[in-house]
Copies of this chain bind each other. A is one copy, B any other.
Amino acid sequence: MPDSVHPLSNALEDCLEAMLELQDLCGTIRITDIAARLSIAKPTATQAVARLKELGLARQETYGHVELSAEGHERASSVRHRHRLLRIFLSEVLGADAETADREACAMEHALGSETIARIEAFTAGFTKRTSRQDRGPQ
């Protein structure tokens, strides 16, 4: 492991998450696409990637394409997991509309520790089961 569990800023976590999504969606990660996805200017994306490189979470040779390191991929997956979970919680459990759920999931994903995330996960799972069993279900 390159470095212990340095906490990342919101901006860097968002960048990692965008990178993972782009990886899965396009097969490659480009500065321009990161910038578009996060609605930031390209130089801002360049700089964020530079920081992630310093932290050992990304790799890129100048003017080349960007890659997540193993650790970067892990961190990114964790962020994405939180995001998805919170989105579901906000929409399914609380009844928020899709757009609000996504926006606020993105804001919350940086605020909660893994313990709380696990609690929300369990709670959401229970809620969904309870709710989907319309009236009587299996006993």
- The chain A residues found within 8 Å of chain B, CB to CB, are 90, 93-96, 100, 104, 107-108, 110-113, 115-116, 119-120, 123
Docked CA distance A73–B112 (Å):
28
Across the interface, which residues of B come within 8 angstroms of A111, CB to CB? 104, 107-108, 111
Please list 24 pairs of residues, one from A and one from B, whose beta carbons are closer than 8 Å in the complex, sorted by A's number. Answer: A90-B116, A93-B123, A94-B116, A94-B119, A94-B120, A94-B123, A95-B119, A96-B115, A96-B116, A96-B119, A100-B113, A100-B115, A100-B116, A104-B111, A104-B112, A104-B113, A104-B116, A107-B110, A107-B111, A107-B112, A108-B108, A108-B111, A108-B112, A111-B111
Assembly stoichiometry (copies): 2
Give Cα A108–Cα B112 distance, bound, in whole angstroms. 8
- Of A100, A112, A113, most buried by chain B (CB within 10 Å of CB) is A112
Per the bound structure, the CA–CA distance linking A6 and B69 in Å amounts to 40
**What is the distance, in angstroms, from A112's C-beta to the closest C-beta of chain B?**
6
Distance in Å: Cβ of A38 to nearest Cβ of chain B: 17
- A112 — which chain B residues lie within 8 A by C-beta? 104, 107-108
Interface centre among A96, A110, A111 (most CB of B within 10 A): A111
List B contacts of A104 (CB < 8 A): 111-113, 116
Complex Cα gap A107–B31 (Å): 30
